[in-house]
Amino acid sequence: AQSVTQPDIHITVSEGASLELRCNYSYGATPYLFWYVQSPGQGLQLLLKYFSGDTLVQGIKGFEAEFKRSQSSFNLRKPSVHWSDAAEYFCAVGLTGTASKLTFGTGTRLQVTL
């Protein structure tokens, strides 16, 4: 069965600093990978996704992620964090077959200090 690990439960960065959130997955086939963001009291918003092709994908709000098959990773990055980026970030892997579903990691809470 597929699984997703987000090793960092909580990360604090200063505004303007760079950010990298880690995501590792376990899946036998080519994975479909997603990053979602959840602001406090809100639903989940898709930041970016990887299905195939270029392993560096660009998303909304200045985020990008790089798929590294050899490391089974899909880390999320942003060169300069804004205070409004404070939120919970979820990595997810998609499973194809008779039904599609997402398996989520446990999330990383990002705190931004001014």
What does the binding site for another protein look like in residue numbers (CB under 8 A)? Answer: 32, 34, 36, 38, 42-46, 49, 51, 88, 90, 94-104, 106-107, 109
Q: How far is the CB of 97 from another protein (least distance, A)?
A: 7
In terms of CB distance, is 48 or 81 closer to another protein?
48
Contact 89, 36 (CB under 8 A): yes
In terms of CB distance, is 29 or 114 closer to another protein?
29
Q: How far is the CB of 113 from another protein (least distance, A)?
A: 21
Contact 2, 101 (CB under 8 A): no
Q: How far is the CB of 49 from another protein (least distance, A)?
A: 6
In terms of CB distance, is 108 or 112 closer to another protein?
108
Residue 38 forms beta bridges with which residues?
44, 88
Residue 13: CB atoms within 10 Å? 17
Contact 17, 81 (CB under 8 A): yes
Q: How far is the CB of 45 from another protein (least distance, A)?
A: 8
Please work out, in degrees rounded to the nearest 5, the angle formed at the alpha carbon of residue 58 by the alpha carbons of 1 and 23.
Answer: 35
